[in-house]
A and B are shown apart, each in its own frame.
Chain A
């Protein structure tokens, strides 16, 4: 059941209506667990079996760990989760390095990766960590199963923490009108971002005019400007797609009175790479920070060690996205960016070099935007060779005279991205003016026009079966 489908909306509505009639907390949990298992089973009954096994295993191991929270037991718990993840996620990559006619070849090829395994495995690992750190979480089996399978998040996050979810599972069910309004708003915004904006950037106005065709259908000959457009266009496609998805998920949970952690907070307004990573795929980057970076970084106080751990954590982040050269290189690149930014900040503190604040902010934003966008070339390329060809075009001045992509691609990319920044500016201004009662009233009165326009565009422009970019992770 695709999150953009009418079936999903109907399913959510039906469960919401039933949940409103269930007063008993335990009964409501049973309803949500059953609905979530049904939802997950629509992607494959076999996937559900793997998730059930993982849930039971983690719950049981969590109880053992709680009785005697030792590092050894923690590592066993983490190891079990990583084993499940690696078997399903990296089987295809292992096939590639096995010798020809290996007896394992057929077996590994038959393994199909359950949807969302990376996300719920990370939730399970954070549970093991939190139990080890004696954070006082003591879920029932039902609560733990819901934490693992809660249907809005089970496919692609946001990666939740049990300590945040548990209190919400246990409190009486009372979604307010504000929850319903906010949830509906988020779902609508998400559908617009994912169904309209990501769709236009990815597929283009016509077949073969979008970012996807620019990366996939030609394998050489890009000019420098083409590569910039593709890199920036892809970054925004990814952002609209995944942030749109996150809006739908967070909005759905909000309808049930459950507040999930945010995943995006205007990442393209960031002025440093460090800030960017506190605003992009936040639930996962915070997970990496809390459970990988901080665990390792606190072992030593040396600067080189901290920087090394940062680079290692981000490389791991890249590997998590997929066991391919470009993704690992992307993680490494982001790690180097973050470590480099730290060093520059330290240098700036020592060398007093005053700049006009606005100029500094603008320059910092521009450099961050370009560096982050460059990273998307690694992220999206099929292999390192393609990434190398594209990066080479960037540093070849005469290639900038050559444009190889359809004219509509450049125009649409500029319009959509420009429109995003204009919209960002307008909403910021409106937020400031909303303290004046008359402005707030006018915004409220006119808001149906905004929602109606968004709905019309969603109906007309979105394709029900559009490809979900971030799904492959």
Chain B
């Protein structure tokens, strides 16, 4: 009798061994991974010397030579400009990638080129109030598709306040055709998706660009994929609520709560391994594929058409390229970049400034020596606070009078 019980117990334990041990391992290893992977997926791969501007140490006499009023203006560049403010001056939308947003080895009082531009615009005016309100609408790794989407979203959101668009174009961003979910969400949030769809429908001659944007938006997804969403039956809504509740519940388990961090961690480990194995450094040549370049160029053209349809003035500048060798940008790509974009601007009567050689090598920095993955390698994407100031001053020299003229003659063209 006892032997029979013992036998059954052994059989049961044998059956439970695999599922129970598997779950225990998942629990233990998952908790350990979740606890030991304290990373921010958004910043984990960036150069530790970069600081994104928050404006907390700006003030009169802070070392930047700004008056209190100018410091307030510079700080306001980083804030939300609101949807509509009729008493405010027209806005200048400053768009670009992390080159526009980040400062290397930031010192107290260092500011972004957008902030310097705001201050310089104020200094240029007779009464100390800038003719244009600089609004920063940049995003790290801003692709051209995202440039177009943010442009549409910002102009729709501000309801006529935007007068001038200042775009910083960086060669690196012409390598990819990507759209992040949050940019799409932004477009949806301000109800601008239809505007974009109309723009795409009305510019089918730019087939490569239109196709790339549509693919990024998921346009053309099969009817089956859309159908469930189209059906708003109560049962469908309830199931979606149940799924949300379940997701919330499992997010109490550390492993689930930190899945995106762990994903970023494993991806980063892959990058380190790949780079070490293939000897990839920050200076390894990264050619821009022809199809991506063409599609991005057409998306830029779409942006210009949209801007002109809204009566917006556009100024583009070719973002600075670090003047050292070896360089991640190939000479062929740089030459094409410097030729094709000015040609496009010429066709649309848009001011295009070539700043590829503007920032001297001393105003760029490297990855710090203690950075495990990229210690000592040159950073080709971002520059120092002094370079931001230099860029803003050059902008004022090149387009300051033009901006004054536009505002004085035309007011806000969008209105």
List residues of chain A with CB under 8 Å of any chain B CB: 1, 5-7, 10, 38, 41-47, 92, 112-113, 115, 177, 181, 184, 205-208, 212-213, 216-222, 382, 402-406, 408, 411, 444, 447-449, 451-452, 455-456, 459-461, 464, 467, 471-472
CB distance B246 to A406 under 8 Å? no
CB distance B225 to A471 under 8 Å? yes
Residue B52 is within 8 A (CB to CB) of chain A in the complex: no
Taking CB atoms, residues of chain A closer than 8 Å to B239 are 1, 7, 42
**Sample of 7 further A-B pairs with CB below 8 A, known A112-B230, A184-B19, A217-B177:** A5-B246, A7-B242, A42-B236, A43-B236, A46-B231, A448-B21, A467-B221
Taking CB atoms, residues of chain A closer than 8 Å to B255 are 456, 459-460
**Chain B 12-44 interface residues, beta-carbon cutoff 8 Å to A:** 15, 17-19, 21-26, 29-30, 33
- Ordered by A's residue number, 30 sampled pairs between the chains whose C-beta atoms are within 8 Å are A10-B246, A45-B235, A115-B228, A181-B18, A205-B267, A207-B178, A207-B180, A208-B176, A208-B178, A212-B215, A213-B178, A213-B215, A217-B177, A217-B211, A219-B291, A222-B291, A402-B290, A403-B289, A404-B291, A406-B175, A408-B274, A444-B17, A444-B18, A448-B18, A448-B22, A452-B22, A452-B29, A455-B22, A456-B33, A472-B222
Taking CB atoms, residues of chain A closer than 8 Å to B197 are none
Assembly CA distance A222 to B208 (angstroms)? 13
User: Of A184, A221, A222, A456, which is within 8 A of B26 by CB?
Assistant: A456
Taking CB atoms, residues of chain A closer than 8 Å to B262 are 460
CB distance B224 to A113 under 8 Å? yes
Taking CB atoms, residues of chain B closer than 8 Å to A184 are 19
User: Of B30, B256, B291, which is within 8 A of A218 by CB?
Assistant: B291
Which residue on A lies nearest to B267, using beta carbons?
A205
CB distance B223 to A92 under 8 Å? yes
Given the interface pairs A7-B239, A221-B289, the reply to whether A411 lies near B274 with Cβ below 8 Å is yes
Which residue on A lies nearest to B280, using beta carbons?
A407
Which residue on B lies nearest to A118, using beta carbons?
B224
Output the least CB separation between B302 and chain A (Å): 15
Taking CB atoms, residues of chain A closer than 8 Å to B227 are 43-44, 112-113, 115
Number of interface residues of B (CB under 8 A): 59
Assembly CA distance A171 to B22 (angstroms)? 33
User: Of A7, A217, A444, which is within 8 A of B212 by CB?
Assistant: A217
Which 3 A/B pairs are nearest by Cβ-Cβ distance?
A472-B222, A221-B291, A208-B178
User: Of A45, A115, A404, which is within 8 A of B289 by CB?
Assistant: A404
Assembly CA distance A162 to B261 (angstroms)? 48
Residue B188 is within 8 A (CB to CB) of chain A in the complex: no
CB distance B22 to A451 under 8 Å? yes
User: Of A1, A206, A456, which is within 8 A of B29 by CB?
Assistant: A456
CB distance B225 to A452 under 8 Å? no
Taking CB atoms, residues of chain A closer than 8 Å to B46 are none
Given the interface pairs A92-B223, A405-B289, the reply to whether A218 lies near B177 with Cβ below 8 Å is yes
User: Of A47, A212, A460, which is within 8 A of B263 by CB?
Assistant: A460
CB distance A208 to B177 under 8 Å? yes
Output the least CB separation between B374 and chain A (Å): 17
Q: Which of B247, B289, B290 has the most CB of A within 10 A?
A: B289
Assembly CA distance A459 to B177 (angstroms)? 28
Assembly CA distance A467 to B226 (angstroms)? 11
Assembly CA distance A455 to B253 (angstroms)? 14
CB distance A472 to B225 under 8 Å? yes
Residue B400 is within 8 A (CB to CB) of chain A in the complex: no
Residue B69 is within 8 A (CB to CB) of chain A in the complex: no
Bitwise interface map of B from 144 to 184 toward A, beta carbon under 8 Å scored 1, else 0: 00000000000000000000000000000001111110000
Q: Which of B175, B211, B255 has the most CB of A within 10 A?
A: B211
Residue B295 is within 8 A (CB to CB) of chain A in the complex: yes
Assembly CA distance A113 to B177 (angstroms)? 32
Residue B201 is within 8 A (CB to CB) of chain A in the complex: no
Residue B1 is within 8 A (CB to CB) of chain A in the complex: no
CB distance B224 to A447 under 8 Å? no
CB distance B224 to A472 under 8 Å? yes
Assembly CA distance A472 to B225 (angstroms)? 7
Taking CB atoms, residues of chain A closer than 8 Å to B21 are 448, 452
Taking CB atoms, residues of chain A closer than 8 Å to B177 are 208, 213, 217-218
Assembly CA distance A5 to B18 (angstroms)? 24
CB distance A447 to B231 under 8 Å? no
Taking CB atoms, residues of chain B closer than 8 Å to A115 are 224, 227-228
Output the least CB separation between B252 and chain A (Å): 13
Taking CB atoms, residues of chain B closer than 8 Å to A1 are 239, 243
Assembly CA distance A5 to B250 (angstroms)? 12
Taking CB atoms, residues of chain B closer than 8 Å to A402 are 289-290
Residue B259 is within 8 A (CB to CB) of chain A in the complex: yes
User: Of A177, A181, A451, A460, which is within 8 A of B259 by CB?
Assistant: A460
Output the least CB separation between B47 and chain A (Å): 18
CB distance B243 to A6 under 8 Å? yes
CB distance A6 to B222 under 8 Å? no
**Chain B 260-298 interface residues, beta-carbon cutoff 8 Å to A:** 262-263, 266-267, 270, 274, 289-292, 294-295
Assembly CA distance A448 to B225 (angstroms)? 36
CB distance A207 to B179 under 8 Å? yes
Output the least CB separation between B170 and chain A (Å): 16
Assembly CA distance A212 to B218 (angstroms)? 10
Output the least CB separation between A145 and chain B (Å): 19
Which residue on B lies nearest to A457, using beta carbons?
B266
User: Of B220, B230, B235, which is within 8 A of A41 by CB?
Assistant: B235
